[in-house]
Amino acid sequence: MKPMRFAIIGCGVIGKTHVAVMQDMPEVELVAVSDEVEELGKGLAEKMGVAYYADYQEMLERPDIDIVTIATPSGMHGAHAIACANAGKHTIIEKPIEITLEKADEIIRIFAEKGLKLSSVSQTRFSRDIQRVKGLIETGKFGRLIMGATAVHWYRSQSYYDSGDWRGTWALDGGGALMNQAIHRIDLLQYLMGPVRSVHAHCETLGHERIEVEDVAVASVRFANGAVGSITATTCAYPGLKTRIEIIGENGTAVFENEQITQLSFKDEETELAESKGGASADPAALSSSSHRPQFEDMIAAVRENREPAVNGEQGRLPLEIIIGIYRSSQTGQTVTLPIVTEGVGA
């Protein structure tokens, strides 16, 4: 089978990870990259022997591109994704899908109208341990779900926020510890526990000077199935701790550190304990470059088989809605009920 031809918009931290992932995938041929910063984009293009474009719109005119990955600042995802759709390209958007529900809905609508595949990056969903516990929950092994909690207590220095104009801004990062760092775990929590019904939260900026967004957040959560839970996130926890997810059911408990099971216990079985490894708790570039691969493979299969990608636009919208709900609760002091009604829906 001929390889699928990819292009990338944005050659920063995660754009380089996309390249590293694609290099190991025989079913992928990278044909072009774009970055408005010439030294970043051109350098990567020369290294990979592919075409470089300062103007991504010009790159999208190429008829030989099948799938585009978007790795630009979060608040630009909508404009870039819509340009991809208008150019007839299937598209993978880095997380978050966008920073507002209205823009996320617009993206989802346009890709559906054009009959193009859209995938929103949530690479940790493809982790074998996450899939294993998801399967056990679905077969009823945990019994009734009681509580689901996640903690993303990481460290990002002031110099991290200073390293890009967009970092730590409402306009382009769309939020802080929740929207940028904790979104993967929030996605996994709702993926495992089921839909969130309401949130009540406190978000603060307590450990950094030159950021607009929250660097610490605490939310209590009620799930649609009656279970309760919590989401805590910070970028102030030096030197950065392993992330944690706890799933507690009436018949058993699963604990994840990063994406690996460290405890799996059922009342009727022996406890399983495992060692977990480090990760991106202190270094955003430390993400394993292989971790996007299953999601890229799923997108290629979705295009070839003309089916929905496992994490499509609607799936990418789910953690965004929880985070927007948490921000609204913190701003108003009120409990926020989901789904959030948006003005743009169906427009």
Ligand X SMILES: NC(=O)c1ccc[n+]([C@@H]2O[C@H](COP(=O)([O-])OP(=O)(O)OC[C@H]3O[C@@H](n4cnc5c(N)ncnc54)[C@H](O)[C@@H]3O)[C@@H](O)[C@H]2O)c1
Q: By the criterion CB under 6 A, which residues form the site for ligand X?
A: 9-15, 34-37, 40, 56, 71-74, 76, 94-95, 121, 123, 164, 180, 284, 287
Query: Which CB, 294 or 339, lies closer to ligand X?
Result: 294
The pair of structure tokens assigned to 154 is 């990481």
User: DSSP letters of 185-252?
Assistant: HHHHHHHHH--EEEEEEEEE--S-SS-SS-SEEEEEEEETTS-EEEEEEESBSTT-PPPEEEEEESSE
How many other β-carbons are positioned within 10 Å of the β-carbon of residue 40? 17
Query: Which CB, 50 or 287, lies closer to ligand X?
Result: 287
Pairing mode, strands 252-257 and 244-249: antiparallel
Query: Which CB, 121 or 182, lies closer to ligand X?
Result: 121
**What DSSP element (H or E) covers 45?**
helix 38-48
- Tell me how far apart the alpha carbons of residues 174 and 282 are, in angstroms, rounded to a whole number: 21
- Tell me how far apart the alpha carbons of residues 340 and 326 are, in angstroms, rounded to a whole number: 11
Nearest to 296 by CA among 71, 140, 43: 71
Query: Which CB, 220 or 258, lies closer to ligand X?
Result: 258
Query: Which CB, 9 or 264, lies closer to ligand X?
Result: 9
Give the position of tokens 């970092």: 167
User: DSSP letters of 120-132?
Assistant: E--GGGG-HHHHH
Say if residues 298 and 93 touch (Cβ distance below 8 Å).
Answer: no
- Tell me how far apart the alpha carbons of residues 6 and 59 are, in angstroms, rounded to a whole number: 11
Tell me how many degrees the CA angle 307-309-311 measures, rounded to the nearest 5.
150
Least Å from the CB of residue 12 to ligand X: 2
Query: Which CB, 80 or 223, lies closer to ligand X?
Result: 80
- Tell me how far apart the alpha carbons of residues 160 and 181 are, in angstroms, rounded to a whole number: 13
Least Å from the CB of residue 141 to ligand X: 29
Nearest to 152 by CA among 131, 133, 124, 129: 124
Least Å from the CB of residue 115 to ligand X: 25
Query: Which CB, 11 or 85, lies closer to ligand X?
Result: 11
Query: Which CB, 147 or 241, lies closer to ligand X?
Result: 241
Least Å from the CB of residue 269 to ligand X: 33
Least Å from the CB of residue 285 to ligand X: 8
Least Å from the CB of residue 17 to ligand X: 7
Least Å from the CB of residue 266 to ligand X: 31
**Which residue has the closest beta carbon to ligand X?**
12
Least Å from the CB of residue 345 to ligand X: 23
